[in-house]
Amino acid sequence: MTQKDSAADAACDAIGIDIGGTKIAAGLVASDGTIRRKLVLPTPGSSPREVENVIATLVDELAADSCVSSVGVGAAGWMDLTNSTVLFSPHLAWRNEPLRASLEARLGRPVIVMNDADAAAVAESQFGAGQGETRLVVITLGTGIGGAIVNDGQLERGRWGVGGEFGHQIFVPRGHVCECGNRGCWEQYASGNALGRLGREMFESGGPRVQALAEAASREGRRVDGALVTRVALEGDPLCQELVEEVGEWLGIGLANLAAALDPGRFVIGGGLSSAGELLLRPAREALAKNLTGRGFRPVAEVVLADLGADAGLVGAAESARRSALAGGESHRP
């Protein structure tokens, strides 16, 4: 890349793509993290080609009247160290999928692919709740648990690029079956899915305590899930608040384990379940302090909510793509 090319890329925006199980969000993102324009389309099943078609449609529309330097794609799953191949994605049919090469050929622009939690961590570290902290752990609570480590502004991805899979630590031997194939993983006890399971168990048990939850489910004609339990809890229902607090306690126990291994200065908690706010974080902080090894003789890491909400993934993917383009494509690692 010439100096002229680098200057041109620095002046351009980048496009970030966040691939979820139900929707694909794309944003045109400026160098300060501002989203200039955002588009959302449904996720078209699990076919890699169909997902690529949607990505191309979103990029073409966002780039039609804009200067775009590069494209970053974030999705749940394991990416190789070069941010080019999706090794495995639990919710999409990607198995050793050379996604970067396919998209670069199709889009005519530099592309990187990355884990969605890594993307969120880049965004929070650069523009959000992680600013100013040199040793940061980001936890995303949604269907499962995603995680990432940022040290002095750089992602730590492990030897093979698949570090940060904190949700698949085995907490309860022979516990609940996990989508990863193991049993008793942390995300089976401290995620949106875990909260939904607790809510359904209480709902099916009947009794007067489930009245508010039952009325909400009936009114909306929907299955009891983590999002519904969270909302009813925020509306003041004691039962649903207890369920959120139970999940928060499991979250805090996991944070204590991570603190023992990684010793971060701050945990940033994001993802859909983080909308529960202090109902979730208060018991998490208490459980962290209660279970932290060396408690009373060492500092306790902060536990704070993510600032960027649902947009963190696409903002971080765009920022990582921009960094890669400015580095001349020599390294696709954010």
pLDDT tens by residue, 24-70: 999 999 999 999 999 999 989 878 899 999 999 999 999 998 999 99
Residue 44 forms part of a structural domain: yes
Residue 186 forms part of a structural domain: yes
Residue 203 forms part of a structural domain: no
Residue 291 forms part of a structural domain: yes
The verdict on 103 and 44 lying in the same domain is yes
Q: What is the mean pLDDT of residues 191-201?
A: 96
The verdict on 73 and 166 lying in the same domain is no
Quick: pLDDT tens for 66-84.
999 999 999 888 899 988 8
* Joined tokens for residue 88: 């495995």
Residue 310 reports pLDDT greater than 90: no
The verdict on 264 and 281 lying in the same domain is yes
* Domain range enclosing 269: 131-191+238-306
Quick: pLDDT tens for 124-174.
999 999 999 999 999 999 889 999 999 998 999 999 988 999 999 999 999
Helix (H) or strand (E) holding 248: helix 238-262
**Across the chain, what does the average pLDDT equal?**
92
pLDDT given for residue 334 in this prediction: 41
pLDDT given for residue 4 in this prediction: 45
Give one DSSP letter per residue of 91-148, joined into a string. SS--EEE-HHHHHHHHHSS-EEEEEHHHHHHHHHHHHSTTTT-SEEEEEEESSSEEEE
Of the candidates 114, 155, 151, 124, the one whose C-alpha atom is nearest the C-alpha of residue 136 is 151
Q: Is the pTM for the entire model greater than 0.85? A: yes
CATH of the domain at 35: 3.30.420.40
In this prediction, residue 319 has a pLDDT band, given cuts at 50, 70 and 90, of very high
The verdict on 102 and 143 lying in the same domain is no
Residue 328 reports pLDDT greater than 90: no
The verdict on 178 and 99 lying in the same domain is no
The verdict on 153 and 49 lying in the same domain is no
The verdict on 261 and 183 lying in the same domain is yes
pLDDT given for residue 215 in this prediction: 95
Residue 5 reports pLDDT greater than 60: no
